[in-house]
Amino acid sequence: MSSILTNAGAASALQMLRSLDSQMLGTQRQVATGLRVDQASDNAAYWSIATTMRSDNGALSAVQDALGLGAAKVETAYEGIAATTDILAAFMAKVVSAQQDGIDKNKIQEELEQLKQQIVSISNSASFAGQNWLRSDMQGEVSEAGAKTSVVSSFNRSEDGTVSVGTIDVDLSKIALFKNGGGGILQKEPDPDLGHGLGTIGGLLGFSTSGYGDVPGPVFDQPFTITKFDVVTVAFSVGTSNDTFVITKSVVDQALGGELGYGFDGDIESAADWAKVLQQATFLNKPPSDALLTAQGGTPNIFFRAIIPLAAELITVQPPVHTRTLPPEGIDILDIDVTDPDIDFPTITLVLDEMQQKVISAGAYLGSLRSRIAMQEAFGNSLAGSLDRGIGRLVDVNMSEASSRLKALQVQQQLATQSLSIANSDAQNILSLFR
C-alpha cells in the first residue's frame, strides 16, 4: 500500500542508515586509536584489567629507573674498592720493604703518605647521587640501622590487590672504608666489642705482697676482659725459687671457656672466675715439678698458697707487668709510620693483610650486588614486554579486520543511502497518478 503520510520504506532505510553510521563511528574510532577496548563501555572487565596493568607497567618503569640508579651507585663503589685494593697491595709492599736493614725509612714513609692520601681521595670521590658508600655516616656498631641502605628492585601486586615495593638491601658495614667516628675497614674501632675494659686487671695492677702460708691475693674490683693483645706477666718467689706466671686470653679460655655459660671471649666476670684464671696460670699450666704455688679462694677473697713441700717458705709476689701488642681497637691505616722506632712490623703486616682481605671481600660483595641488579634489570625489561603484550591481547584491535569491516560498512552505508533515496521517491510516483 502506498501512503503520503507514512513512508515505511524510507523509515526502514533511515533506521538502517543510522545503525550503519553508529557502527561506522565505532570502527573509525578503533582504527584511529588502535584499540578494540578504549572505554569502559566497550568491555568493562577487559578495560579494568588493562587500565590496572598499564598503571603497574608505569610503576615497573619507575623501578627500572631506580635499578639503573642503584646500579650506578654500586658501580661507583666497586670502582673505588677495586682501586683501593691495588693501593693496599702497594702499601703492603712498601711496609715489607721498610723492614730491610739499611733502607731509608723516611723515603718509604713519604711514599706511604702519598698512598694514604690517594686512598682518602678515592673514598671521598666515590659518590653518586649524593651517596658515598665508601665513606659512610654510620655511627657506632655495625648492627645499627644506619649501616644499611637499599636499592628499589621490584613492584609487586598480590592476589588480593595490595601492592608493595621490593628492595635489595646493601650492608654498608661490609664496604665502608671510613666511618664517622671510626670503625671502617681501614680504621680503628671506636667502641670495640671487647666486653669490659681492663681497668686494674681485677686488682692485680699495682699489687704486690709477701708472707707465709695463705698470702692474700688481689682484691677483685670489677669485671674485665683479657684480649688476645694483652699479656700480663707476674714475677714471684717461694723461698729461694723464682718464677713467673703469665695471663693471656688463652689462659682465660683454658680456665673458663669450656664451662657452661662461658664463651671464649676473655671475659672475667667475678672473683671466682678470676681465681680460676690465676690457678690456671700459676699451677695448672706448669709441669708438676715446676709448680711453686697456686691461687685459691675466689668468694669473697683470693689468696696464694705454696705447694706442700714449700708450705713453710716465704711467698713474694712482685707487681705485674702488662704489655699490649696491639690496641684492642686495631690500627688506623692513616696512623702507620714505619719511621717509628717502636713499630711492631709483624703486627702491622698482619693488620694490613686483614684490611686487604676485608677490602677484597667488599669488592666481592659489590660484585654480587652488581650481578643481582643486572639480572633484575633484565627480568624487569622482559616483564614489561610481557605486560605490554598481555594488555595488547586484551584491548588492541585487529587492524586487518577493522579495515575490512570499515570498507564493508562504507559500502553498506552507500547502499542504505541509495535505498533511502529510492524510498523517498515513492511520493513523486504517487503525484504522477494525479496528473
- SS3 for the chain, per residue? CCCCCCCHHHHHHHHHHHHHHHHHHHHHHHHHHCECCCCCCCCHHHHHHHHHHHHHHHHHHHHHHHHHHHHHHHHHHHHHHHHHHHHHHHHHHHHHHCCCCCCCHHHHHHHHHHHHHHHHHHHHHCCECCECCCEECCCCCCCCHHHEEEEEEEEEECCCCCEEEEEEEEEHHHCCCEECCCCCCCCCCCCCCCCCCCCCCCCCCCCCEEECCCEECCCCCCCEECCCCEEEEEEEEECCEEEEEEECHHHHHHHHHCCCCCCCCCEECCHHHHHHHHHHHHHHCCCCCCCCEEEEECCCCEEEEECHHHCCCCEEECCCEEEECCCCCCCCHHHCCCCCCCCCHHHHHHHHHHHHHHHHHHHHHHHHHHHHHHHHHHHHHHHHHHHHHHHHHHHECCHHHHHHHHHHHHHHHHHHHHHHHHHHCHHHHHHHHCC
d(CA 385, CA 57): 9
Contact 330, 188 (CB under 8 A): yes
From the CB of residue 71, how many other CB atoms can be counted at a distance below 10 Å? Answer: 19
- 329 or 405: which carries more pLDDT confidence? 405
Render pLDDT for 63-77 as a digit per residue (tens, 0 to 9): 888 888 988 999 999
Q: What percent of the chain has pLDDT over 90?
A: 33
Model confidence band, residue 31 (pLDDT cutoffs 50, 70, 90): confident
pLDDT at 258: 64
Q: What is the pLDDT of residue 189?
A: 67
Q: How sure is the predictor about 48, in pLDDT bands with cuts at 50, 70 and 90?
A: confident
pLDDT at 51: 81
**Residue predicted with more confidence, 56 or 367:** 367
Read off the C-alpha cell for 388: 605490554
The mean pLDDT of 119-123, rounded to a whole number, is 93
- Using pLDDT thresholds of 50, 70 and 90, give the confidence band for residue 82: very high
pLDDT of residue 359: 93
Identify the residue with better confidence: 278 or 15.
Answer: 278
272 residue type, one letter: A
Of the listed ranges 181-185, 252-256, 295-299, the least confidently predicted one is 181-185
For the ranges 49-58, 102-111, 222-231, the one whose mean pLDDT is highest: 102-111
229-257 per-position pLDDT tens digit = 789 999 999 999 999 999 998 999 999 87
Q: Is the pLDDT of residue 320 over 90?
A: yes
Spatial separation of the C-alpha atoms in residues 353 and 338, rounded to whole Å = 16
pLDDT, tens digit, 9 for 90 and up, residues 211-226: 999 999 999 988 888 8
Q: What average pLDDT does the segment 323-351 reach?
A: 82
Q: Which residue has the higher pLDDT, 49 or 232?
A: 232
The candidate with the shortest Cα–Cα distance to 413, out of 400, 421, 398, 34, is 421
Domains of the chain: 47-192+331-387 (1.20.1330.10), 209-324 (no CATH)
User: For 366-372, what is the mean pLDDT?
Assistant: 90
Selection from 271, 272, 220, 276 nearest residue 251 by Cα: 276
What is residue 143's predicted lDDT score, i.e. its pLDDT? 41
- Rounded to an integer, the average pLDDT of 296-308 is 90
| pLDDT top residue among 357 and 402 | 357
Residue 165: per-residue pLDDT: 81
Give the residue, 339 or 29, on which the prediction is more confident.
Answer: 339
Share of the chain above pLDDT 70, in %: 88
CB 116 within 8 A of CB 122: no
pLDDT band for 140, please (50, 70, 90 cuts). very low
pLDDT at 322 over 70: yes
Tell me the pLDDT band of 296, cut-offs 50, 70 and 90.
Answer: very high
Which pTM was predicted? Answer: 0.56
